[in-house]
Amino acid sequence: MPKGRKGRSATASLCALPSCSAPASEQVCCPQCQRARYCKRAHQIADVGRHKAVCVASSSGASVKTRTVDAIFFPANESFPRIVKVNCRVHRGGPAGNPEKHELDWSSYLSSDHEFVPHPIAPVERESSRHTHSSRLFLVFDHSAIFNANMPVNRCAMQLTGGNSAMLWRGDLLGYRVREPSEDHAQFMDASMDDLSAFTQFLKYHCTVPPMPSGGHWGSAHPEDAEDMASIFADMMFGEHLSDLEEELRASGFQPPPRRSRKQRYERRARDPSPSSSEWTETDASDERTLNREDIRQMMREEFRIQQDDLRALLRKEVADEVWVGLFQVAVLAVAAYFGWHWLLFPILRFFYGGGTLFMATVWKTLRWSLWFLF
């Protein structure tokens, strides 16, 4: 055993994995004994086999704890949002290495008759004086509400945006803050009225096209960038027939653009990484809607991830529904076969059996009487 590791399974300051000496995290611990702590989730998973033999559960069975977090509620029938307490359920227990599961219960504020989906409203905020961890703001709303005229218009959104939002918000809305990254532990943090400006921006400009930088103009891309893009598209569309096509173009008097290999394109970009960046870096400071490219990419990736999760949930739901329907049909067929045999088929067989027996007995008696009269 390495030096200084004695008694470390009960020490909260160091990672419980024997080969690691990093400080342990308060959030990554054994859900059974609550004593073995790790610096990250990967080390907890790697130590499952060793720790399971010495783990002594502090309580029998799984446990569910409930705490409250502050969220911003945008009621449809009121003009101003307010801070509300939302229950957060923390599921703990099960086998060693099983991570905690955090669930935010917004059913007290949002109707269960609609499909509410959380949506990120801004990029991840790094650690600051306000927040000790990186976090991100989310808004829960019904994506189909804009097509449902029966849902009331959200007066809070109308008041905050001055009636100039890109879409007509309907129904109740709920905003909250989530700790990032969520791969290790998806924890919910308190939101405050200081976050109201970020929600207002999202309510105002959601479903709009991000504006172009004010200093750019059409056709300002570097010529070599355009040639590289044309070469890439040509390779994708024509493949091995591209050389034959270029020969036909040259024979007709047209000079095709030069083709650069992938290595040549990388070498040019390494030599001149952004030849046209100076033409696109001017921004209009007065336009608060202008987003940089990294923010747009981040929001697009997050939107794609949410759509993937929604699609997986929909597929799981449809598969589960099909399984239940199939089991129900099998049960109905089994019950129908049972009652059909006992109440329909079996009586019919008994009837024909009795009728056949009576017929054969009558024939036999007739034959005996006939023989008796004859002989």
| Residues 123, 163 share a domain | yes
* More confident position, 231 or 177: 177
pLDDT at 338: 85
pLDDT at 80: 92
pLDDT at 129: 61
* More confident position, 296 or 265: 296
Boundaries of domain holding 70 = 63-205
Q: What is the pLDDT of residues 136-191, one digit of tens each?
A: 899 988 877 777 778 888 999 999 998 888 888 888 899 999 887 665 455 788 89
| Residues 317, 343 share a domain | yes
> Is residue 305 in a domain?
yes
pLDDT at 10: 39
| Residues 374, 362 share a domain | yes
- Lowest-confidence region among 7-16, 43-52, 193-202: 7-16
| Residues 244, 341 share a domain | no
> Is residue 214 in a domain?
no
Sign of the Cα torsion 180, 198, 89, 83 reads: positive
Q: What is the pLDDT of residues 34-64, one digit of tens each?
A: 778 888 888 887 787 777 767 754 444 456 6
Q: What is the mean pLDDT of the chain?
A: 73
Highest-scoring range by mean pLDDT, 113-117, 169-173, 346-350: 169-173
pLDDT at 270: 55
| Residues 199, 73 share a domain | yes
| Residues 337, 243 share a domain | no
- Lowest-confidence region among 2-6, 231-235, 273-277: 2-6
Prediction pTM value:
0.42
Where does a domain end: 45, 60, 75?
Answer: 60
| Residues 77, 198 share a domain | yes
Q: How confident is the model at residue 320 (pLDDT cuts 50, 70, 90)?
A: confident
| Residues 135, 80 share a domain | yes
Tell me the HSE value of 272 on the side-chain side, using a 13 A CA sphere.
11
For the chain, what is the domain count? 4
> Residue 256: pLDDT above 90?
no
Highest-scoring range by mean pLDDT, 1-15, 107-121, 268-282: 107-121
Q: What is the pLDDT of residues 80-95, one digit of tens each?
A: 999 999 888 876 655 4
